[in-house]
Structure 1
Amino acid sequence: MRFEKGDNLKNRVYCFVIFASIFASRLNFDIGISIQLFHIIFIFLLASALYVVPKKLLVDEFLLLIFYILFSFTGINAIEPSQTLIMILGLGVVINYSLISRCFFTRLSLANLLNVFSKVGKLIFWLSISLYLLGFCFFFLFGLNEGEKFLGVMIEKGIVRAIGISTDPNFLSLISLVFVFYFLDSKDKRLYAYGFIILILLSLSRGGMASLLIGGVVYILRSDYKKIIYLALIVSIFFIISKWILDFDIINVVLEKRISGLENGGGRFDIWSQGLHIFKGNEIFGIGIFQFKTYNILYFSDIHYLHNTYFEVLIEGGIIVFSIFILSIACFSKKFLFLYCYDKKSLWIFPTIISFFVCIFGLSAYSSPILYTFIAFMNSVYLLNTPASR
C-alpha cells in the first residue's frame, strides 16, 4: 500500500479531489448505468492500492453499515432483481467511498482540512455561477425547450432554474447548504456565503429556501446579529437588482409559478400519499430497496420518484431499516451539539447539519454520495476537534 500518512501536500490534493468529485454530477456518462467522476476516483484508489478504510468506526458509521446490509437484503423481493442488484452494488460503492474519504480527511490537520473545504466550496461556486450565467444568456438569446438542461440552467414551467454543476436545482441547493454557513462564519470569506445564498435563490428551490431559513434560525441563536443584518441586506439587494433588471411582470410570473401548487407541496404530497398506500401491508420489511418507482408505475402509472429520503427509506426498507437510518442520523447529529453550544469556532457546523437534513426531506438522496461523504467530512472535523475521541 502506497498510502502516505501525514499532513502533506499530496494528501491535501487527494482530499480536495475526493471531496470535490462528489458534487460534480453533471460530469457523467451513461453505459446503462450512470458513471460519475467519483466512480472514476474510486476505481483509481482501488487500482493504485490507495484504498484504505478507518480501523475504528464511529457509532453512526457502524449503524450506516448495518443499514446498508439490512436494506440490501430487502432486494430479495425486487420485481427487477438484476437492476436492483446493480443499484445495491452502487450504494455499496458510495458508502465505501465515504469511509475512504474519512480516512483521508483525518490525515490532515483541522486547519488544512477546512482549507480544502474552503477551496472546494469556492470552486463549486465559481463553476456553478459561471455555468448559470452562460446558460441564462443562451436561453435569453436562443431559447430552450421545456425540461431541457443546458450548461447551468434547467427550464421548468417556462422559467429558468439554476442547476450549476449539479443535475437538479434542488441538489444545487443541497450543495450550497453544505458551504453557506461555513463561509458566513468566516469574516474574510463572507462574500461566498452570500454567493451561495444567491445560488439557492436562483435555483428557485422551495425546499432549499426553507432549509436555509431553518438553518439560519439555528445560526442566529448563537451568532453575531450583525451577520444577520448583512444577510438580510444581501437578499434585499438581490431582489431589488432583479426587479431593476427584469420586467416586473416576469418576476410576478416566476413567483406565481413557484407558489402555485404550494398547498400540495408541488405535487409531492400526492406522491407521498401514493407511497404510503404502497407501504400498507409491507410495514416491517418494506417493498424492497430501489423499488418505489417500479411500484409507482405499476399501481399509479406515475414515473416519479418519492422525493423524500426519509419516506423512501421507510417505504422501501420497512420500519426496522428506517429506525436504524434515523438512529444513525441522530447519533451523528448529537456529537455536534456540544461544539455548537461551547465552541464558537465550530458554530457553523450544527446549522449546516440541520439545514442539510431538512433539505433531503424533499429529495431522493439515500443513494447520493453527497449524503455519506458529507457525514464523513463532518465526522472528520469532529475527530480533529476532539482528539480524545480518535
Structure 2
Amino acid sequence: MKSITNTLFYIIILNMIPAALLGTFQISSSLYTLLFALVFLLQIIMIYNVLGRKSLKITRNQFLIFILFLIVEVISNLYSAIFFEKFDSNEFLVVFSVTLNIFFFIISISNYRVQYSDLYRFFFKIVQAGSFACFINLLLNYKEILSISSLTNSYVAEFSSFFSNRNTFGVLMLITIISNKYLIESSYYKFANLFQIFFFVNLLLTFSRTSIAGALLFYLLFYYFNYVRYNYKIGLSKALSIILLIFIVALAILFMLTNDFIINRLNILLFRIDNLESGSGRFDVWRSGFEIGTSNNFVFGLGRYKALELKEKFYHNSLNYFHSIYIEVFVTYGLIGFTMLIMYFRHIIKKISHSSFFGKNITYSSIFSFMFICLFESTTRFSIGYADTISLIFFFSIPILIGNMKTDEDIKNEVV
C-alpha cells in the first residue's frame, strides 16, 4: 500500500524546488510561476494516486460541505463579474486550485487512516529537510551572521537559507521544531534536544516575529496541555531540566535588560517598537479588507483578485495579500467562508480529542499556535505555492490523519 505520509512529504519537497530556485538563482517570475503550476499538477496526480478511487467515496455531510463551498466560490465571482462589469480570468485558476486542494487534502483525506510509524517517519523526514536547510543557511551566511551586530535593521538580514526571504524560511523552521517535538517526546532518535536548539537558533536568525512568536506559543501551550490541564506527572529529571531552563532564561532576560547594547539590537532586529503601533502596516491592511468585505457581498465575498483590486484602488495598497488568513477568507469568500474555516478548526480540535495518538497534546498546541499566526499572516490561501501548500499539509492534512488514529478497541466499539 502506498504511504500517504510519504506522498505528503514529497509534495512539500516538490514545492520547495521553485522557492529554492528563486532564492538561490533568482529565476524569472514567469519561470517561477510556470514551475509552481507544474508542481501543482504533479501534487494532484500524486495525492490522487495514493488515495485512489476511495477519494471519491465521501460521506453525505462531506459532500454537502464541498458543494456549499463550490456555491460560495461561484456566487462570489458571479457577483464581482455582474456588479463590477469586469472579471479577472485569474479567478478561474484560483477556483480550480482551491477546489482541488480542499477536496483532496482536507475532505478526501478525512477518510484515510495511517499507522503511528507512518507519522513518525513523516516528522523525521521533515526534521531532515529542516536540518539540511539550516546547514545551508549557515554555509551561505556565516560571514553575515558573525557580523550581526552591524545590521541596521532586520529587513537587510538575508538569513533565509536557500529561500528568497526569511519569513519563508521561518515557516519551515516552525514546522521543523514542531515535528522534532513529536520525536523528542517519543524518544525517536538521539540528540533530538540538541537539534531543537539548533533549529531555534536558525529560527531566531530569521528575525521573523510571527514564526518566533508561534514557536514560543507552541511550547507554552504544550506545557499547559501536557502538565497543567491533563495533570501529567513530571519525572524528577524532567522537573530539574525545566527548573534549570527557567533559571537560564531568567538570567538571560536579566542580562538583556541591564545591557543597553543588547536591548538596542533586539529592538532594531526583532521587536521593532517603532512600528508596533501600526502593526507593521497590518492594521491598515486589515481595516481595508474588513471594509471591502462588509460593503461588498458580505455573505459570499468577492473572490481574491477583485478584493485585491479594490484594496489597491481605494486604499492604495498593492500587497497581494491581507496579512491575515481570517481577513483573507472573509473578503474572498464572505461570512460563509469565514464560518466554514472556524468550524473546521472546531471540528479538528474535537476530532483530535478522540484520537489515540500519543502526541495529540503537541497537535493541540500546534493548531492553536497556527490559529494565532493566522491572525497576522496569510498562512495559506489553499491555493498554489510553497507557503500555501506546506501550511495546508502540516496544519490541515496531518492533524486530520492524527485525528483519525484510533486504538483497536475503539474500532471494535465502532463496529459494534
TM-score of the superposed pair, with normalisation by structure 1: 0.76
Q: Which runs of structure 2 are paired with 1:47-62 in the superposition (5 Å)?
A: 52=52, 54=55, 57=58
- The separation in 2 between residues aligned to 1:105 and 1:118, in whole angstroms, is 21
- The separation in 1 between residues aligned to 2:140 and 2:242, in whole angstroms, is 31
CA contact 1:102–1:377 (8 Å) conserved in 2:
no
Residue from 190, 193, 216 that aligns with 1:190: 193
2:345 is matched with 329
Return 71-80 or 35-44, whichever deviates more: 35-44
CA contact 1:161–1:202 (8 Å) conserved in 2:
no
1:110 is matched with 116
Name the aligned partner's letter for residue 210 of structure 1.
A
- The separation in 2 between residues aligned to 1:168 and 1:383, in whole angstroms, is 35
Structure 1 position 263, deviation (Å): 2.1
CA contact 2:127–2:179 (8 Å) conserved in 1:
no
Residue from 332, 351, 358 that aligns with 1:316: 332
Residue from 268, 287, 311 that aligns with 2:282: 268
Structure 1 position 303, deviation (Å): 0.7
Residue 295 of structure 2: SS of its match in structure 1? coil
Q: Are 2:95 and 1:88 equivalent residues in the alignment?
A: yes
Structure 1 position 256, deviation (Å): 6.8
Q: CA RMSD in A?
A: 4.2
Gaps in structure 2 of 5+ consecutive residues: 22-26, 228-233, 383-387
Residue 322 of structure 2: SS of its match in structure 1? coil
Structure 1 position 160, deviation (Å): 0.9
Q: Are 2:174 and 1:177 equivalent residues in the alignment?
A: yes
CA contact 2:330–2:338 (8 Å) conserved in 1:
yes
Structure 1 position 199, deviation (Å): 3.0
Name the aligned partner's letter for residue 91 of structure 2.
T
- The separation in 1 between residues aligned to 2:285 and 2:246, in whole angstroms, is 35
Change (3 A) 1:103 1:216: closer
CA displacement, residues 198-234 of structure 1 (integer Å, 9 cap, x when unaligned): 2332221222232223222221121446465576588
Q: Are 2:112 and 1:98 equivalent residues in the alignment?
A: no
1:378 is matched with 399
CA displacement, residues 253-308 of structure 1 (integer Å, 9 cap, x when unaligned): 63477332112211101111122222232222222234332111111221122110
- The separation in 1 between residues aligned to 2:49 and 2:2, in whole angstroms, is 17
- The separation in 2 between residues aligned to 1:220 and 1:294, in whole angstroms, is 44
Structure 1 position 112, deviation (Å): 2.8
Residue from 65, 70, 75 that aligns with 2:77: 75
- The separation in 1 between residues aligned to 2:88 and 2:60, in whole angstroms, is 31
Q: Are 2:220 and 1:213 equivalent residues in the alignment?
A: no
- The separation in 2 between residues aligned to 1:238 and 1:322, in whole angstroms, is 41
CA contact 1:101–1:373 (8 Å) conserved in 2:
no
- The separation in 2 between residues aligned to 1:72 and 1:12, in whole angstroms, is 29
Which one has the bigger helix percentage?
Answer: 2
- The separation in 1 between residues aligned to 2:295 and 2:63, in whole angstroms, is 29
CA displacement, residues 80-103 of structure 1 (integer Å, 9 cap, x when unaligned): 421111222222343355259948
TM-score of the superposed pair, with normalisation by structure 2: 0.71
Q: Which runs of structure 2 are paired with 1:4-23 in the superposition (5 Å)?
A: 5=1, 13-22=6-15
CA displacement, residues 335-386 of structure 1 (integer Å, 9 cap, x when unaligned): 22355xx875433211111112211221112231223322112211222345
Return 215-224 or 298-307, whichever deviates more: 215-224
CA displacement, residues 28-66 of structure 1 (integer Å, 9 cap, x when unaligned): 6754735337426326538x9656253555899668735
Change (3 A) 1:212 1:55: same
CA contact 1:75–1:81 (8 Å) conserved in 2:
no
Change (3 A) 1:196 1:38: farther
CA contact 1:284–1:320 (8 Å) conserved in 2:
yes
Larger Rg: 2
- The separation in 2 between residues aligned to 1:167 and 1:130, in whole angstroms, is 16
Q: Are 2:375 and 1:361 equivalent residues in the alignment?
A: yes
- The separation in 1 between residues aligned to 2:60 and 2:393, in whole angstroms, is 16
Return 125-134 or 263-272, whichever deviates more: 125-134
- The separation in 2 between residues aligned to 1:277 and 1:169, in whole angstroms, is 30
- The separation in 1 between residues aligned to 2:59 and 2:196, in whole angstroms, is 30
- Count of equivalent residues: 365
1:151 is matched with none
Return 330-339 or 270-279, whichever deviates more: 330-339
Q: Are 2:299 and 1:299 equivalent residues in the alignment?
A: no
Name the aligned partner's letter for residue 316 of structure 1.
T
Return 163-172 or 277-286, whichever deviates more: 163-172
- The separation in 1 between residues aligned to 2:122 and 2:322, in whole angstroms, is 34
- The separation in 2 between residues aligned to 1:167 and 1:105, in whole angstroms, is 35
